[in-house]
Structure formats: C-alpha cells, structure tokens
C-alpha cells in the first residue's frame, strides 16, 4: 500500500497516454456549465471523458453504450472533478482491454466517491480557500485598490488549477484504490480538520474587521457626554458586533430563510437610522 | 451609450460564462465591479462597490442544492446604475439585491426547464454517437438557463439610469443613510452562514481566536490568515497523533451536508 500512495506519475502501459490525460484536464473546465437539476453534472462529466471513450471503444455501439453510462447523475465539487474523472478513465481502460472486467464497478466507484470527495472539496474550496481569498481581496478592494480583485482571483485560482491538474494524474494512477488509501491513512480527516480550523479563524477575523456597527446615541450632557459605542467598547472591543453576530446565527439556527434575515437587517438598519441609534 | 451598453452586455456574458470557465469565481461582485467600473470610466468606485456587494453576498454560493441569488445581474445592474447616478457605494446594494433575487426566481421558473430540454437533446446525441451535437447542446444548455439575465442586463442599463436617478432623489435621506448602515451589517449574515456550515464543538474556539485577534491586536484578516496557517502547521508537526483514530472528520462532512438542507 505504501508504494502506491499519491503517485502522480502514472505508468502508461495500455492505451491511454499522458496527452489524453492533459486533454481530460482541459475538458474538465466547463464541467459545471451544463449543471442541471435533473442529473446535475452528468453532461459535464460525459463531455470531459468523451474523447477517451472514443479512443477506448473503437466500435460505435460500444462507444454509445459507454457514453450513455457516463450520462447518469453525477455531482462533484468542480475543482476536483478531475480526480473521479481520472479514476473512471483507469477503469474504462481496464474494461476496454479486459473482457472479464465487471462494467458495473465503474459506476459504483464513481458514485461512491460523490459523497466523501464532495464533502471535503466543498469545505476546503468554499469554506477555507474562498474565505481566505475574500478576506485578502475585500480588505484591499474596500480601500479602492485594484490589487484587491486581482489577489482575490489569484489566491483562489492558483491552488484551484494546481489541484485540478494534478488530480487528473493522481486519479488515473490510483484507479479504484484511491479512496481506500486516502481514507485508511486518515489524510482526508486531517485535511478537513485543519482546513476548517483555518477557515473558522478567518471567518472570526473577517466578522470583526468587515462588519461595521456604530451606536451614535449619546449619554450625558455637554463635555462629559459619551456615545453608547465608547461605553460598549469599554467592556471589550467588538462586543456589539459579536452580539449581533449571535443574533443572526440564532436566526439561521431557527431555520429562518436567509432572504428573510436579509430583509430584517435592512429594516432594522433603516429604523435605527431614523431614530438616530445607528450611524454609518 | 450604445457602445457602453454593448460592453456592459459583454461583462454580463463573461459573468454567465463562470461555469464554462472552470467555476473560477469570475461572477463574483468583487471581479465584476471593477470591470463595470472600467467600462463606465470609474474604476475606483467599481472596485469599492464590488467589494461592498461581495461582503453582503458572501453567503451566496451554489454548493449542494442551494441556489443563490443571481449575482451577475445583481452586481452589474446595481453597480452600473449606482456609478451612472453618482450614488454612494451602498446604493449598489439597494439596487442590486432585489434584482439578484428577481432574476434568480425568473431563472428557476423559465431558464431551468429550457435548459433541461437541451440536456435531453444531449441524451439523443449520445444515443446516435454524435459527439458534435452533444457538444453543441451542452454549450447552449449552459447559457439558455441564464437567458433572463443575459437579456435584462443591457436593457436595464440602457433604459434604467435616468429612472433610477429620479427614484434616488425621491427616497428620503434617512433611508439612504439606513442603507449605508445596512451595508455595514449585511456581512453578518454571510459570516453567520459560513460559520454555521463549518461550526462544530472542535472549531468554535478558533472563531473567537480570529475575532479577538482583530478586536484587540488590530491585526488584519490577511495577518490572521497567515497566523492560522502557521498554527495549523505547528499543530500538525508537533501535536498531531496519527495513531489516534479520528472519526470526527467524517461527522463534520455529514454536518456540513445537513447545513445546506436548511436553505
């Protein structure tokens, strides 16, 4: 098992060569373009693997059969779709060269990867990497710097395309063993653990840095007058933000629709401005 | 004006090409804002308004089955009209958010069924082994689902700015000021959504660590991110006991899935 862990330099001893896999990577890019509510990423998946199927199954009836099999429901975090694609290619290749091969195992492996891989993919790309990119990008962009949007784009997409590219080869070389290996060595759990830790810290930091709450009500008269805000900050800085965060979090927990919460925030803001409680 | 409308249309098309171009977050307000600013000759405001909308819409990401508001039309129409009428950055929110919600509903009601028709044509093409027809229908399917936005963006821009300018003058000052306050509060919703998705007992302290590092030490988010990565590396090297069986990770994934069912 040790020898085959994370080998991204696959051996090409059958029909598929490196340029086929590079092409597979490029064709994985529009994966979500045809995402639909019926079978989700099915067309995207089939379109990516189509040239390889054509190469593996020269007979038209076999090609049509394989293509239709790849049009069944599929869903995957787009950034790592090359991993199940690579695995599928390895299995289709085995299927095309070995008549004893059990064809139904291709779909079984593909579908088994949907849950665990999408889970880790969504939490890493959506919860960690995007939050990092947004944190860095908006801090700069709010000051009007063009570096904001540029860094946002690069911080997200450089790791994205590196992982997407190498995922193709990793998937192909590990074939159907990939998930067993990764799961038994606990790598998946660890990535999830550390990624959500970093993500949470950045979410906490952004909540304090980006949310702007300012109580403008004054207490006292003349020179001794102070605002409610400075009193609150005296307890600990950010107390107002933290309290309002708690209320919003609680509303979500109570299964309130996010659109409804947005409406509540808008109305409360306008009312609080009218009564001169909050200021921008 | 015709040229500007055409360029705005192109920015919209780029936004709706998000999924054709690798889901690379081209459709996020922080990217579309500067592009709209560039077209209208006010890059600076485009960047700032883009970032303002980005923060307000930070929770609007399509993960799982949650279908978020249509960011492309919301950002482009909101930001372009706000720039054209020389309004404050918060006006981009006032204009953009309702449009994003309406366009999402329109897309769901009309765009999705149309798209499915073309998905089924992909099946027919596969049946005949016709790869070119499959490619063509795949490409059409992706764009046809967004037809409301593709059609509405240039129209709203062309006919909208004078109407919007009149409207903004009618709106009382405290409402416009209130929108500025809301712009400061709306990110709360996005962060709460993010936190809810990732939250479990183990990572709760890290939220507060990040929060108070900024509150007390005044470190920027970027700084906190750097420290977070270093800390994770230290924990991994010195404290991670790999012999210990970790079942919690799997539970986390399951919890995240559950979080989405709520929307």
**DSSP assignment, residue B25?**
S
Given this model, what pLDDT does residue A207 score?
87
Query: Which residues neighbour A24 within 8 Å (Cβ) at sequence distance 6 or greater?
Result: A48, A49, A52, A82, A85, A86, A89, A168
Average pLDDT over residues B66-72: 78
Structural domain count, chain A: 2
Structure token digits, residue B52? 């303002």
User: Is the Cβ of A208 closer than 8 Å to some Cβ of chain B?
Assistant: yes
Given this model, what pLDDT does residue A115 score?
65
Structural domain count, chain B: 2
Asked whether residue B193 is domain-assigned, the answer is no
**DSSP assignment, residue A236?**
-
Q: Are residues A238 and A259 in the same domain?
A: yes
Given this model, what pLDDT does residue A188 score?
60
Q: Are residues A129 and A14 in the same domain?
A: yes
Q: Are residues B212 and B177 in the same domain?
A: no
Is pLDDT at B99 greater than 90 in this prediction? no
Q: Are residues B35 and B99 in the same domain?
A: yes
Asked whether residue B188 is domain-assigned, the answer is no
Q: Are residues A133 and A215 in the same domain?
A: no
Q: What b/e string do you get for B91-130 counting C-beta neighbours within 10 Å, with b at 16 or more?
A: bbbbbbbebbbbbbebbeeebeeebbebbebbbebbeebe
Q: Which of A202, A233, A252 is the last residue of a domain?
A: A202
Is pLDDT at B128 greater than 70 in this prediction? yes
Name which residue leads in pLDDT, B121 or B112: B121
Q: Are residues A145 and A239 in the same domain?
A: no
Grade residue B22 by pLDDT with cuts at 50, 70 and 90: very high
Q: How far apart are CA B87 and CA B48, in angstroms?
A: 12
Q: Report the run of H or E that residue A226 belongs to, with start and end.
A: strand A226-227
Nearest-5° Cα angle at A55, A52 to A60 = 110
Give me the residue from A67, A78, A135 closest to B126, CB to CB: A67
Confirm if A239 and A249 have CB atoms less than 8 A apart: no
Q: How far apart are CA A233 and CA A11, in angstroms?
A: 63
Is pLDDT at B38 greater than 60 in this prediction? yes
Domain of residue A256: give its range. 211-274
Q: Are residues A97 and A224 in the same domain?
A: no
CA distances from A18 to A92, A168, B205, B213 (A): 16, 10, 46, 48
List chain A pLDDT tens, one digit each, 280 residues. 344 445 566 777 778 899 999 999 999 999 999 988 778 899 999 999 999 999 999 999 999 999 999 998 888 899 999 999 999 999 898 888 888 777 877 887 777 677 667 777 877 888 789 988 998 999 999 999 999 999 999 999 999 999 999 999 999 987 755 444 555 566 666 766 787 788 888 888 888 888 888 888 877 776 667 788 888 888 888 899 999 999 999 998 898 877 788 788 888 988 998 888 888 7
Q: Are residues B6 and B126 in the same domain?
A: yes
Given this model, what pLDDT does residue B159 score?
85
Q: How far apart are CA A121 and CA A84, in angstroms?
A: 12
Q: Which of A143, A173, A202 is the last residue of a domain?
A: A202
Asked whether residue A7 is domain-assigned, the answer is yes
Confirm if B176 and A170 have CB atoms less than 8 A apart: no
Name which residue leads in pLDDT, B39 or B104: B39
Q: Are residues A87 and A168 in the same domain?
A: yes
Q: Which of B182, B209, B241 is the last residue of a domain?
A: B182
Q: Are residues B203 and B173 in the same domain?
A: no
Query: Which residues neighbour B189 within 8 Å (Cβ) at sequence distance 6 or greater?
Result: A248, A258, A261, A262, A265, B56, B59
User: Is the Cβ of A264 closer than 8 Å to some Cβ of chain B?
Assistant: no
Q: Are residues A32 and A150 in the same domain?
A: yes
Beta-carbon contacts below 8 Å between A and B: 365
Asked whether residue A216 is domain-assigned, the answer is yes
Chain A residues touching residue B198 (CB < 8 angstroms): 123, 127, 196, 199-200, 203
Q: Are residues A248 and A171 in the same domain?
A: no
Q: How far apart are CA A88 and CA A69, in angstroms?
A: 11
Domain of residue B12: give its range. 2-182
Q: Report the run of H or E that residue A219 belongs to, with start and end.
A: strand A218-219
Given this model, what pLDDT does residue B258 score?
38
Given this model, what pLDDT does residue B66 score?
53
Give me the residue from B19, B145, B194 closest to A30, CB to CB: B19
């Amino acid at each position: 098992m040790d020898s085959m862990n994370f080998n991204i330099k696959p051996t090409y001893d059958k029909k598929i060569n490196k340029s086929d896999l590079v092409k597979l990577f490029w064709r994985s890019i529009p994966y979500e373009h045809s995402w639909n509510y019926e079978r989700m990423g099915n067309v995207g998946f089939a379109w990516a693997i189509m040239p390889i199927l054509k190469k593996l199954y020269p007979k038209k009836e076999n090609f049509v059969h394989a293509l239709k099999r790849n049009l069944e429901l599929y869903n995957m975090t787009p950034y790592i779709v090359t991993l199940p694609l690579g695995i599928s290619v390895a299995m289709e290749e085995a299927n095309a060269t070995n008549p004893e091969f059990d064809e139904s195992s291709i779909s079984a492996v593909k579908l088994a990867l949907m849950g665990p891989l999408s889970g880790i993919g969504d939490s890493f790309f959506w919860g960690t990497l995007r939050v990092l990119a947004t944190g860095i990008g908006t801090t700069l962009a709010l000051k009007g710097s063009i570096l904001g949007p540029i860094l946002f784009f690069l911080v997200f997409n450089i790791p994205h395309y590196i992982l997407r590219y190498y995922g193709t080869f990793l998937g192909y070389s590990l074939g159907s063993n990939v998930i067993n290996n990764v799961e038994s060595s606990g790598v998946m759990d660890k990535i999830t653990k550390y990624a959500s830790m970093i993500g949470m810290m950045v979410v906490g930091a952004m909540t304090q840095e980006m949310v702007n709450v300012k109580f403008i009500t004054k207490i006292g008269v003349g020179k001794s007058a102070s605002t409610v805000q400075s009193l609150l900050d005296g307890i600990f800085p950010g107390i107002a933000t933290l309290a309002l965060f708690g209320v919003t979090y609680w509303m979500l927990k109570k299964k309130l629709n996010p659109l409804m919460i947005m409406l509540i925030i808008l109305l409360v803001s306008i009312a609080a401005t009218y009564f001169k409680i909050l200021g921008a | 004006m015709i040229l500007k409308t055409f360029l705005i249309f192109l920015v919209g098309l780029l936004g709706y090409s998000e999924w054709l171009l690798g889901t690379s977050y081209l459709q996020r307000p922080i990217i579309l804002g500067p592009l709209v600013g560039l077209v209208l000759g006010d890059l600076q405001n485009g960047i700032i308004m883009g970032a303002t909308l980005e923060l307000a819409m930070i929770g609007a990401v399509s993960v799982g089955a949650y279908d978020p508001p249509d960011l492309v039309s919301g950002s482009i129409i909101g930001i372009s009209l706000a720039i054209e009428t020389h309004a404050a950055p918060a006006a981009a929110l006032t204009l953009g958010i309702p449009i994003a919600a309406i366009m999402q509903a329109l897309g769901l009601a009309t765009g999705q069924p149309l798209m499915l028709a073309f998905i089924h044509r992909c099946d027919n093409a596969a049946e005949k082994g016709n790869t070119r027809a499959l490619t063509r229908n795949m490409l059409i399917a992706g764009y046809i689902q967004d037809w409301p936005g593709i059609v509405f963006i240039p129209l709203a821009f062309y006919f909208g700015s004078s109407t919007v300018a009149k409207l903004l003058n009618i709106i009382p000052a405290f409402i416009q000021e209130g929108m500025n306050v809301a712009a400061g509060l709306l990110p709360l919703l996005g962060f709460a959504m993010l936190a809810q998705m990732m939250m479990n007992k183990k990572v709760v302290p890290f939220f507060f660590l990040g929060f108070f590092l900024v509150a007390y030490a005044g470190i920027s988010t970027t700084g906190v991110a750097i420290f977070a990565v270093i800390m994770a590396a230290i924990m991994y090297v010195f404290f991670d006991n790999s012999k210990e069986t970790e079942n919690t990770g799997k539970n986390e994934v399951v919890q995240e899935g559950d979080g989405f069912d709520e929307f």
